[in-house]
Amino acid sequence: MTTQDNIIRFRTHHSEDEASLPNIIVSSDESQRRIDELKAFVDDVMVRGVDYGLVDGFSKPTLFKPGAEKLCDVFGFSKTAEVVNRIEHWEAGIFAYEVKMTLTRKNNGVIEAEGLGACNSKESSFRGQDPYTIVNTVLKMAKKRALIDAVLSATRSSGIFTQDIEDITPPRSNTKRGEEPVTKAQLQKIFSTVEKMNMPFDVAKEMMKLSFGIEHSTMMTKSQASQFIQDLLTLKEVRTNG
């Protein structure tokens, strides 16, 4: 069965549920069926390392932005983002945003869920960077967090995924004595591999952040870069043979 077949099958079952909305009480059998159906969709359609990722020490994978958007598509949700609070202190270089993401059913206009996400330029992942060059990044991160929060709620998938593990995992220090910095050749290898895989660079960046707790490839050590290249090549082989 192809990926498209799985999406159509999932949408068909989900459409049958919509005919009887709203459901105030759902039987345990029906609830379990929906959970099993969602798990099957995750296994058959979503791609590990692109749509979600596993982190050592956590039993549940974390949901990435591409995976959240894929779930929005299959559930038939449209997305509306609204900045509900912002701080833009240009003189001090402090920027913070709180975003509300609203998911609405495309077929009937009913609001399914709302999610909140916040981000600010004082977070540890932005430490040492020029605050004026990351304003858009901070806003996009707040939107991503709001999207994932809303999707987990709307799809009832919090039992499968968790959110923003990368935001609670303390960054690993790269300042240990004797560690060599990433080489130019390693950086070129990373970029060329990501391009050949047609992987969005924000996904690769998120993988790197999850693995090493760092925001930019230039902050990696030589050993970390070597490990990251190996992870990318392994994922590439899995995709090719899968």
Q: Which of 168, 202, 218 is the last residue of a domain?
A: 168
Last residue of a domain, one of 168, 196, 221: 168
Same domain, 111 and 137: yes
Select from 146, 168, 190 the last residue of a domain.
168
Q: Could you tell me the CATH number of the domain that includes residue 127?
A: 3.30.390
Specify the pLDDT at position 171. 42
Asked whether residue 30 is domain-assigned, the answer is: no
Domain containing residue 164: 46-168
> Is residue 15 domain-resident?
no
Q: In angstroms, rounded to a whole number, what is the distance separating the alpha carbons of residues 213 and 63?
A: 17
| Spans in the chain with pLDDT lower than 70 | 1-28, 30-31, 55-59, 163-178, 239, 241-242
Q: What is the mean pLDDT of the chain?
A: 79
Q: What is the pLDDT of residues 8-44, one digit of tens each?
A: 555 555 554 544 444 445 566 766 777 788 888 888 8
Does one domain contain both 98 and 121?
yes
Contact 149, 101 (CB under 8 A): yes
- Cα–Cα distances in Å, from 5 out to 9, 18, 74, 95? 6, 20, 12, 44
The number of folded domains in the chain is: 2
Please indicate, yes or no, if residue 138 is contained in any of the structural domains: yes
Question: Percentage helix, strand, coil, to 5, in the chain?
Answer: 50, 20, 30
